[in-house]
Amino acid sequence: MFKVERIRRIKEILRDCHQIEVSVLSNLLNVSDATIRNDLEELEQDGFLTRFHGGATFNSPDTSLSDNSQPTMSTVEYHKDKEEIGIIASRLVQEREWIFLGPGTTTYYIAKALRERGQINVLTNNFLVANILYDVPTIRLVFLGGQVDHLGNYAVPDDLDKELQNIYLDKAFFSVDGVDLNAGYTLSDKTVFDIIHSVMKRSREPIMVADCSKFEQTAFMTIGNLSLTPTIITNAGIPDEYKRYYLDHDIRVYSSFDLKPAAF
């Protein structure tokens, strides 16, 4: 990777996660720690970041956080697997489609990848998604407001079914907390459970998005078995038994940038 491209990626990653360690950056960009330290020193001289022992912090031009301040809503820890899923998902969205992006940081990465697209309509209740897309003039953004869940960074109407009445969606993207062959797709949040089931009924193609770290994990409640959605976007490194399950149940699996369902 050339230096110009490496600097661009470092800036992009720091804008997302606000703080990162040298060792993480060197692994992500496949260069030495010494190379990363030199890049960070240069970016510090430009005023883009502030170095600390073993890492760096982004100098946001819009906010000045004191040591006692809480991170802003837009602060999302950088996650390479979720970024990959976001890019794949964005390429499945066609112009003029109406899509739903549900709660979670995986859908945040879908929104991030959609910023360069045009003529797309997005319904969301995810503040992270809204924060990414609100200033994109070519994307129509509709926010599903209501009571705020501060921990989950989303809102939900008092009467969700009434708010969704007469709404039709081409695609809806959902993320979960666990994927298990026996327990199915699981969540920790009952409200998100209700959101998924209400939106699914109004979606032509519901799509599950789950990075490989979610597999063989279970959370508090099951929302359905692994056949709940006809399509899943994940990473190539999921366990073989899950690949066989999806293949045997005719579930489309996307796990690479070529946008052809993975044959495994």
Q: How does pLDDT run across 95-135, given as a tens digit for each residue? A: 999 999 999 999 999 999 999 888 999 999 999 999 899 88
pTM for the whole structure: 0.75
3-class secondary structure, 246: helix
Same structural domain, 97 and 53: no
Strands (E), 97-217: 98-101, 120-124, 139-143, 147-149, 154-156, 169-175, 178-180, 184-187, 203-209
User: Each residue's pLDDT tens digit in the chain (264 positions)?
Assistant: 688 888 988 988 888 777 888 988 888 888 999 999 999 999 998 889 888 888 888 887 654 433 443 334 446 788 999 999 999 999 999 999 999 999 999 999 999 999 988 899 999 999 999 989 988 999 999 999 888 898 889 999 989 999 999 999 999 999 999 999 999 999 999 999 999 999 999 999 999 999 999 999 999 999 999 999 999 999 988 999 999 999 999 999 999 765 667 766
262/247 Cα distance (integer angstroms)? 9
* CATH code for the domain in which residue 27 is found: 1.10.10
Query: What is the model's pLDDT at position 58?
Result: 87
Query: What is the model's pLDDT at position 82?
Result: 94
Number of domain units in the chain: 2
Q: Is residue 213 part of a domain?
A: yes
Same structural domain, 98 and 222: yes
Q: Is residue 32 part of a domain?
A: yes
Per-residue pLDDT tens digits for 44-76: 988 898 888 888 888 876 544 334 433 344 467
Same structural domain, 89 and 188: yes
Same structural domain, 109 and 15: no
DSSP secondary-structure letter at 220? S
220/187 Cα distance (integer angstroms)? 6
Structural domain including 127 reads 80-256
